[in-house]
Structure 1
Amino acid sequence: MSEVLVKRSDKLAFYGVPAAGGGTITYHRMRGFTESSTSKNAKEYNRQYVDEDSERSDVIAFSPAMSYGFDQYLENPVHDDIVALTDSETLGTAAIRSIIIVDLTDSTATGEVTTYAARKRDFAVIPDSEGDSTDAYTYSGNLKANGPITKGTVTLDAEKKIATFTAAV
């Protein structure tokens, strides 16, 4: 069997946009993003024992962060939410959103329904800059982990723009 390259577009991110006034959260695909990379930011415990010639390292924690950048599009629910959080300088828990990472290379079909492996986590939206381009109005910042990962599956709408998450049991 030959190896198959996993394309960047095979891993989709969906951002939880709360309904006006709170309530239901809809997971919209993060479209129009020019940057979306994850840094695991592993925390290490390093030490060297007196009776050994080399140092030992263990990973003891993670502090994941996803950098983001996007060209602002009107009527894009994800852009609208991040812009609102940025413009109003939203603080604390009001700036926390859930993000689902969907792996399109890991799917299961049951009848007419296809489910995909997914991981969901809460992130603090931490804006950095806006308006850095002369071509389009841009926003950038970081999404920093604010809780543990929940593994599960998602189903996607026909256009792969809306995800419905089901946590693993």
Structure 2
Amino acid sequence: KQEIIGDVALEMLFGTTSDTYLELYNEGIIDDTFGYDYTLQDSFSFVLVGGDAKNPDEQTAKILEAIQKAAQYGLLEADLALVKRKRIGQFLRSLNSPEFIANQFSQYVMKSASLFDILPLMETVTLEEVNAFIKNLDAEERTTTFQLLPE
């Protein structure tokens, strides 16, 4: 469930319909290369956020600022409902793909879970869980930035 919570939280904060994404895109701080990902393994997890930028320092500052603001004020229940509906729709459409089913089925068997556990878990994600995930991201001692700059 933690992986689902992380994915939903990041979609709410940085997804293409989020206030953060629209603001940063309209200001030219991010472009269509912007993305995010959450990886959860048995002994570690991490979040990646970023993309191409004319001013990478500004992009980094704005991303961290968005995380801090969300951690302080929380995300909205209406946004959670929207993202959950979107994610559930994407998941149900994905079930039309034998490749998706095979990939996901084998992934979850290793975790003693089932592909069919995903939908009920998605439906149970709460705003409190999402906000707790975001608050956990707002920790300077666990944050690092990485920039690839042209020579």
The answer, yes or no, to whether TM exceeds 0.5 is no
Structure ID, larger Rg: 1
- Structure with a larger share of its residues in strand: 1
TM-score by length of 2: 0.30
Q: State the structure with bigger RCO (CA 8 A, min sep 6), 1 or 2.
A: 2
